[in-house]
Every structure is written in C-alpha cells, then in structure tokens.
Amino acid sequence: MLKQPPARTRPTESVPAGVETHLANLETQLELLRTRVRQAQQLASLGTAAATIAHEVNNLLTPILSYAQAALDEGDVELQRKALTVTIKNVRMLVAMSDRVLQISAAKPACLQSVSVRTTVQDAIESLCRDLTKDGITLSNKVDEALTAWADPLQLQQVLFNLFLNAREAMASSHSGRLTVTGKRDGDRVVIEVKDTGKGIPPDLLPHIFDPLNSSKSTDRTSRDRCKGLGLALCRDLVEENHGTITVTSEIGAGTTFRIVLPTDDQSTG
C-alpha cells in the first residue's frame, strides 16, 4: 500500500514588527486627524454665527461704554451706581455667552449619559447668542421636561445648535417664521424633530444634504460655494456616534424638518 504524502500546511503568516508599529502609528495619526477635522467643523459652524454673536456682543458693550462715560463726565453718584449695575449685568451676560461659545467649539470624545432633551434644546438656543424674536422668528419648544435620551449632552447640543443656526438663516431674510422643536418617546427610541417654515431645500440637493462640503445655500458675490455643508455632515457624524440616525424632509416654500432618533436611557445597561 502506497504511503500518502504528508498534507501540506501553509506557513503561518505574521506581520513584521516594524510594519505593525508603522500601522499603529498611522492609526494614531488618523485618529488625531479625525479630531482636528471635527474641531474644524465645529469652528466652521461658529464662523457662520460670528456676525450675529459680534452684533450681540456690541449690544451689550454699548450701554456699558455710554453709562460709564456719562457717569465720569457728570460725577453723579446715582448715575455712577447705575453705570456699575449695568456693567455687572452685561458683563455677566458676556461671560455666559463666552462660556457657551467655548463649550460649542470644544472637541471632546463622546460621554454617553442620561440627557434632558428639553434642557439641551434650551442650551442650544442660548448658544446662538441671539433672541430669535429680533429676526421675526417664533420659537416653540414643545419637548416634555421629563423626556430623556442616552447621548452625549455636548454633542447633542452641537447638533441642535447647527440645526437652529440653519433654520434661522432660512427664515431671517423674510423676517418671519416659526421654529418648532418637538420630542417624544417612541418605544425604545427618542424622536426629536426640528421644523422651520423657511424656503425649503431643492429636491435635487436633498439626497446629498449630509455630504461634506454640500450646501443648499446661495453662493457669495464671487460665485464660489460657501461650503456650509460641513455643519450638517458634522450633525450626521455626531448623531451616529450617539447610536442614532438623522433624516430630513423638505418642501419648497413650506419649510424643512430634521428628525433625530436616539436611544432611550433604558438601553444604557444593554
């Protein structure tokens, strides 16, 4: 009987130590790049809001300067007291505004926890540093105070901030409109909707609205794209990091609705 030859075995493939180290370094650099891109996206959103923030800062500084100058010129003790009162009040508002801006601009890893949706909506509105009624926009926060989601509070605030910023831009030119925020529990998920009554997004752009560098907004005077799509691309990335989804529906002349779906905090132990 013929003896069968021994079965051939494939040699075990191993990655050389030098290559493994190189791959680890590349992965570290890629993660660092992702963090920097994230921060650049967040700063781009603030750049969009910069003119509005500067206007509100000016509104707070002007009475400080006026009262201080009048108090010095007239030497009136009562006027000096009033000047100091206005200064303290407005400086506190400026400090709070600065804190919100710094919070929005920070690039931090996700820290999932039980989050009050209504409180986060209010924080995002305040981060605009603008009373929307000055733009003729009525805000309606219909989120129940007891509604909570399992998410990173700062990342959810960033998402809502970007959506509110876009909604304001969509309605501010007409100096009218309504921004409505609703939130409800649907089974094991939390559904947040942000609806504006702006001019809407063209149907051909809607499928690409979350693509980086895509924009539904008009071009500037040099006819170059303003590349404002970074804000919505960031929204999608942040929502997905929080194990959620974000979708959009829009109708020309009627407005736009963004729908965010997140886990409930019941799933925190799952």
In angstroms, the CA 231 to CA 162 distance is: 6
Task: Report how far residue 124's alpha carbon sits from residue 248's, in angstroms, rounded to the nearest whole number.
Answer: 19
Amino acid 35: pLDDT: 63
Domain ranges of the chain: 20-104, 112-269
pLDDT value for 265: 85
Give the pLDDT score at 190.
Answer: 97
The whole-number pLDDT of residue 173 equals 82
SS3 160: helix
- The pLDDT of residue 63: 77
pTM above 0.75, yes or no: no
Kind and range of the H or E element at 151?
strand 148-151
Report pLDDT for 233.
Answer: 83
The span from the CA of 246 to the CA of 42, in Å, is 18
Q: For residue 247, what are the CA distances in angstroms to 4, 181, 199, 259, 264?
A: 63, 15, 18, 5, 18
User: Which pLDDT belongs to residue 74?
Assistant: 83
Residues of the chain with pLDDT under 70: 1-15, 17, 31, 33-53, 55-56, 97, 100-101, 103-108, 212-230, 267-270
Domain 112-269 belongs to what topology? Answer: Heat Shock Protein 90 (3.30.565)
In CATH terms, the fold of domain 20-104 is Helix Hairpins (1.10.287)
